[in-house]
Structure 1
Amino acid sequence: MVKKFINIIETLGEWAGKIASWFILILIFSLVYEVASRHLFNKPTFWSYDISYMLGGSAAFLGMAWVMKNKQHIRVDLFYERLSERNQAILEICLTLALFFPLVLVGFTNSLDAAIASFLRQETAATGSWRPPIFPIRLVIPISLGLLFLQGVADTIRNIYQLLGRRI
């Protein structure tokens, strides 16, 4: 049952990571189009800047849970690698409970409030001439932090099992 729960969480993170990778591909194509349009035809686009930060920011946030699942995030390995697996698990549980969960929860609640307010005001981008709606990008942030929180739960469960001498 626990393994199935962890697999569901990690599958959600994998899908978010795949969506983020597609956003990067679309971002590359839109920037290539902008550069070609600007320099070859002297016709810059009016939408490129807004699309760039929306896609780039969304990709960065949506990729967080996938990065954490695959342990690709930055870590100070100087000390961590010298610890036994048991002590690594203890350190991760302590730091996750003391720092990770509180920070992610604060970020989640604040970003959710901002996304709801943005949606209710029908907020648009302040830059550019076409002023696209901004609430979709604001909604990506709490979704991404929610996925990151769930991945933290999965990792904590995995570390607790490791402390008990079992693997998931």
Structure 2
Amino acid sequence: MTFLLKVSRLIDRVTGAIGALVGWAVLAMILIGAYNALVRYLDAQQVLDTRLSSNAFIELQWYLFSVVFLLGAGYALKQGAHVRVDLLYNRLGPRARAWIDIVGTVVFLIPFAVFVFWESLPAIENSWAVREVSPDPGGLPRYPIKAVIPIAIVLLVVQALSELIKRVATVTGANDLADGDDPSGTDGHAAAAPEEAAASEEAGTR
């Protein structure tokens, strides 16, 4: 189990690096979006004699959003940022939460990701075969951005395996001997902080 936990930490570091790159993509998307809004206003007001806006910049903003959404999925899973609708999850103990994550990962997440990967391949292969481009004048090629789909799914599954390793370690108790990771994504210091604050407050009242 110690070896698997080391593999999990390596995967987490790679996912963290990808998350940092995605953060820069978010910044680029915001800047290009601001540029598109500004030049469309200038073009509408006919401030300049030349037209500044183009379909290429508009589609580039869409493509960056796709990159953020797809490549950021694994990072969001690592950070526990995906939306949870289970009202009982946060009220359960670490091992109970770990079991829920194990079942969810094995029964739902990985099978769904594999299904999407398999079903997306024909469309992606066809897009690359014909070198698909945007139907809009001055638009960008479509086939490169479609290639991000299977790459993102592979990264998501790899991170899911990392999370699965950590949850199994929590259930078996191996995590306590390693680094004490909490399946909720918080460490032991964060969990102990409220208790320490309460103890300090009680001492102050005395």
The percentage of counterpart residues that share the same residue type is 26
Q: Report how many residues are paired.
A: 167
Residues 1:31 and 2:29 are matched in the alignment:
no
Larger Rg: 2
Q: Distance in 1 between matches of 2:110 and 2:104?
A: 9
Q: Please, which runs of 5 or more residues in structure 2 have no aligned partner?
A: 179-206
Residues 1:110 and 2:109 are matched in the alignment:
no
* 40-49 or 64-73: bigger deviation: 40-49
Q: Distance in 2 between matches of 1:10 and 1:113?
A: 31
Using the size of structure 1 for normalisation, the TM-score is: 0.90
* CA deviation vs aligned residue, 1:85-113 (integer Å, no higher than 9, x gap): 11111111112111111101111222233
Asked if the contact 2:5–2:165 (Cα under 8 Å) also holds between the matched residues in 1, the reply is: no
User: Post-superposition shift, 1:77?
Assistant: 4.6
The two structures, once aligned, show a CA RMSD in angstroms of 1.7
Q: Could you tell me which residue of structure 1 aligns to residue 148 of structure 2?
A: 140
Asked if the contact 1:16–1:62 (Cα under 8 Å) also holds between the matched residues in 2, the reply is: yes
Q: Distance in 2 between matches of 1:124 and 1:9?
A: 34
Residues 1:83 and 2:92 are matched in the alignment:
yes
User: Post-superposition shift, 1:23?
Assistant: 1.5
Using the size of structure 2 for normalisation, the TM-score is: 0.75
* 36-45 or 51-60: bigger deviation: 36-45
Q: Distance in 1 between matches of 2:160 and 2:41?
A: 46
Q: Distance in 1 between matches of 2:76 and 2:61?
A: 21
Q: Could you tell me which residue of structure 1 aligns to residue 105 of structure 2?
A: 96
* 117-126 or 42-51: bigger deviation: 42-51
Query: Residues 95 and 6 (structure 1 numbering): CA distance in 2 closer, same or farther, change over 3 Å?
Result: same
16, 34, 42: which one aligns with 1:40: 42
